[in-house]
Structure 1
Amino acid sequence: MTLFQVKQRSTGVLLWVGPADSEGHALDVMAREAGFRDAAHLPVHVRYGGFRTARVVS
């Protein structure tokens, strides 16, 4: 697995860093670790503006 980081696009706030299979999977893993079923079930105010997901370069 690769390490990814997820930032909120509108604010630039780093929301999560962790292992995932892909960028799309990283969003779902982040949401599950926050207690939601998947990224689609995150609150609207968190999803507002979208996300920027990128691999973490070591």
Structure 2
Amino acid sequence: MSIFQIRQKTSGAILWTGSADDEHTALDAMAREAGYPDYSALPDTLRAAGFETAKLDLIS
């Protein structure tokens, strides 16, 4: 698993940070934490605003 961070494109606000297998899984996890079953269940207006998903490379 990798660490991903999801931001709202328009404001740059960080919406979610956590571990996931890939970008799609990270978007689903963000949606679940917001109370939706998965990313596809988010309202169209939210998805239309856009999200930036970044894989964080953390070095210990």
- TM-score of the alignment, normalized to the shorter chain, above 0.5: yes
**% of aligned pairs identical?**
48
Q: CA RMSD in A?
A: 1.2
Q: Say which one has the larger Rg.
A: 2
Structure 1 runs (4+) deviating above 3 angstroms are none
Paired positions, count: 58
1:21 is matched with 21
Q: What TM-score do you get using the length of structure 2 for normalisation?
A: 0.83
Task: Give unmatched runs, 5+ long, in structure 1.
Answer: none
Task: Give unmatched runs, 5+ long, in structure 2.
Answer: none
Q: Secondary structure at the match of 1:31?
A: helix
Letter in 2 for 1:20: A
Q: What TM-score do you get using the length of structure 1 for normalisation?
A: 0.86
2:49 is matched with 49
